Amino acid sequence: MLQVATPTATEETQTVIEIEGRASLRGEVRISGAKNSALAIMAGTILCSDDCRLSNLPALADIDKMCQILAAIGVKLKRDGDRLVVDASHVGHGPAPYDLVSQLRASFFVIGPLLSRLGMTKVPLPGGCAIGTRPVDLHVRGLQAMGADVHIEHGVVNASIKGNGRRLTGAKIYLDYPSVGATETILMAATLAEGETVIDNAAREPEIVDLANFCRSMGAQIRGDGSSRIIINGVEKLHSTDFPIIPDRIEAATFLCAGAITHSEISLFPVVPDHLASAIAKLREIGPEVAIDAPDRVRLIPRDLRGTDIETLPYPGFPTDMQAQFMALLAVSEGNSVVTETVFENRLQHVAELQRMGANIKLKGNAAFIQGVPFLSGAPVMSTDLRASAALVIAGLAAEGKTIVQGLRHLDRGYEDIEGKLRKLGAKLTRIEQPVSL
């Protein structure tokens, strides 16, 4: 059995999650607001010079960082639980602090609203999970097509509207890849541009639709969101709004995997079942049934697990953000599976950690070849990115013995109180302090 030493007063410690595996789960999980939607919408509040009131905001490290970034550029914020009042009437031209922006990829979303509202801005190049190349060139080319002068100097993106114009100009923009971030940046910038902007090969994710709904609630003229062509007719000004964030489809699918791997019946609420279509389809291929009990509620009914193949693709394909969690599930599913990652080239780093737990996985390029094993064994493992951290927690729930998951800064970026929600279902896990090995 893995022993966890009690740290002395002079030892460095780290926070880890300790999981006693093989516990049955039962009950209902309340799904939080969608992180990826909330971050873009928070940036979008800059477009409005009146108050915006957001609700169903998740309590996450990434949300905290975005609040700090907005505050640093002059936005006034009042937060009460899952509610946030945003006053961007006095937003300034100064750049957001590099030390904040470098930790959060979504911080770059502020460039479109700042440029469209103020006519110029400076935004440091962003950071986030080390899961592969995520260049900002599609964002930049879109802004340039709308009349912006954009250049990168010393790690800072400088953008301004050319000439004496105070507004960006509508344009026809084709994205080489249906990038969610680029679609959101261009969509937000276009809401206050002069004339019509057309985004072809746009991303179709539910978070794009949520952002468009938010902008429409402020008076923006947008149509086609959810399809590959989005059309925005610019307006001169946007007005105040109250807006609820959609439920987090990735958190919901993660809990479905937790139920499946522990052979447990659990319910999730609130959810939008259509947003989970690809994850539900793959779960049914693997064996479990997913019942839609109400328009905003689904239930996982456990069944024997069998292997299947998965390829990550832009929405409505299977989401890259669920690849690691499903790999943990397939590691204990009977037979062979192949998981192919086509979106991010470095998003298979969790394979080595699952192997430490006894998973039989072989890597070849961007594909993982999995032969299911009867059970996993608890081990100390290290999170390599946000979704990998959730996959390791899921694996620990099903493993024999004790699993210790390190690197919780990733987990806390995207899952609100995941251990509290799992404990409510009956999981045996807790957050503890552990000595750091030097």
Is 135 annotated as contributing to ligand binding?
A: yes
Is 321 annotated as contributing to ligand binding?
A: yes
Q: Which of 52, 129, 215, 257 is catalytic?
A: 129
Is 381 annotated as contributing to ligand binding?
A: no
Cα distance between residue 24 and residue 265, in whole Å: 9
CA-closest candidate to residue 259, choices 217, 287, 293: 287
Cα distance between residue 338 and residue 327, in whole Å: 9
Cβ-based neighbour number of residue 415 at 10 Å: 27
Counting beta carbons within 10 angstroms of the beta carbon of residue 131, is it exposed (0 to 12), middle (13 to 18) or buried (19 or more)?
buried
Question: Between β-strands 367-371 and 241-244, what pairing exists: parallel, antiparallel or unpaired?
Answer: unpaired
Is 105 annotated as contributing to ligand binding?
A: yes
248 strand-pairing partners: none
Could you confirm whether 129 is annotated as catalytic? yes
Counting beta carbons within 10 angstroms of the beta carbon of residue 349, is it exposed (0 to 12), middle (13 to 18) or buried (19 or more)?
middle
Cα distance between residue 64 and residue 46, in whole Å: 17
Question: Tokens in use for 80?
Answer: 């009460």
Question: Between β-strands 229-233 and 196-200, what pairing exists: parallel, antiparallel or unpaired?
Answer: antiparallel
Is 336 annotated as contributing to ligand binding?
A: no
Q: What is the DSSP letter of 28?
A: E
Is 297 annotated as contributing to ligand binding?
A: no
Dihedral of CA 38/43/47/53: which sign?
Answer: positive
Is 35 annotated as contributing to ligand binding?
A: yes
Cβ-based neighbour number of residue 366 at 10 Å: 17
Cα distance between residue 405 and residue 431, in whole Å: 9
Is 164 annotated as contributing to ligand binding?
A: no
**Tokens 């190349």 found at:** 133
Element of type H or E holding 181: helix 180-191
Distances 129 to 75, 204, 323, 340, 347 between C-alpha atoms, Å: 26, 22, 15, 19, 10
Element of type H or E holding 142: helix 137-145
Cβ-based neighbour number of residue 170 at 10 Å: 20
- Return binding residues: 35-36, 105, 134-138, 321, 343
- Return binding residues for UDP-N-acetyl-alpha-D-glucosamine: 105, 134-138, 321, 343
Residues tagged active-site: 129
